[in-house]
Structure 1
Amino acid sequence: MRLFVSPYILAAVFAWFVAQGLKYTIAMYAGRKLGSMRQLYLSGGMPSAHSASVAALLVVVGFKDGIDSAVFGLALLFAAVVMYDAIMVRRSSGEQGVALRWLFHHFKLKPENSFRTAKGHTPKEVFGGAILGLIIGLVVYFATL
């Protein structure tokens, strides 16, 4: 059962949970209605849990395996793709979903299936998640020495 003591897995999972908890807390203080625990796992918002997870993993890989290792190169590429996707692809498709929802409402059309619009992240949310991941990656690395 080495999976649960792996600093790589621990950093990514811990960063995810901390980011989602912070996202819920930030939304609560911003005055949004948070009636259910479902808010803890929705996408979008500050900080990006995706960015926090991949940044935390990248930090642990860098410290444990070295920044000149092949696995660090892969982790860096993986982090870059995830963060780019959060800002560019997911954000754009979320905005398109909002526009579609407006069109359905404006023209009083009933979609065959109801749909949820999942928003992506702003650059600020991704940056916030990356900084959080960096901190959590450092904490996990030094705590597991």
Structure 2
Amino acid sequence: MTFFEEFFSNHIFLTAACGWFVAQILKTLIHLIISKKFVAERLVGSGGMPSSHSATVCALVTATCYEYGAGSFEFAISLILAIIVMYDAMGVRRETGIQAQVLNDMMKIFEDMGRSEISPHDKLKEFVGHTPLQVLMGALLGIFCGVIIYTFVI
């Protein structure tokens, strides 16, 4: 078996990738419904509802549990990784997004005063982290994807 055949037959990887993919599609659709604008960046970007970070790692944890059991070291490692990723998404990354929003607002004030040292193209990215609800919804989506894949596909 070649590397690519092994890689793309890895059920744990495919389940995690599916969790990410479904979350990104939902995130794009939810943004479209709320803002009435299609933003292609939402298909791959971070931030927003649901958290694709949470969906990915929770799908990973669910698949690992199915493959190796809840008592395995693989499950323990994936669970700790998931906790760290979700904590970071709600903490440091969310604060970074809030700070970016404040700085962008300050730059707008400078621009209105006739001082535009930074172009609108250099605006800081505000969609970086997640609210606890976004993380929770991403986690539930990831678990759901894992259960569906292992129940009906594999």
The TM-score, its normalising length taken from structure 1, stands at 0.91
CA contact (8 A) 1:7 1:144 kept: no
Asked if 1:59 corresponds to 2:62, the answer is yes
Q: Which runs of 5+ in 2 are unaligned?
A: none
CA separation in 1, counterparts of 2:103 and 2:34? 27
How many residue pairs match? The answer is 144
Asked if 1:44 corresponds to 2:47, the answer is yes
Asked if 1:133 corresponds to 2:133, the answer is no
Aligned residues: percent identity?
A: 37
Deviations 1:2-25 (A, max 9, x none): 111111111111111100001111
State the superposition RMSD in angstroms.
1.6
Q: Which runs of 5+ in 1 are unaligned?
A: none
Aligned residue in 2 for 1:30: 34
Aligned residue in 1 for 2:122: 114
CA contact (8 A) 2:53 2:138 kept: yes
Aligned residue in 2 for 1:16: 20
Deviations 1:70-127 (A, max 9, x none): 1111101100000001100110001111111111221334237713313310000000
CA separation in 1, counterparts of 2:47 and 2:19? 15
- Which one of the candidate residues 5, 12, 15 is aligned to 2:9? 5
CA contact (8 A) 2:15 2:60 kept: yes
CA contact (8 A) 1:86 1:120 kept: yes
Opposite residue 121 of structure 1, the aligned amino acid is H
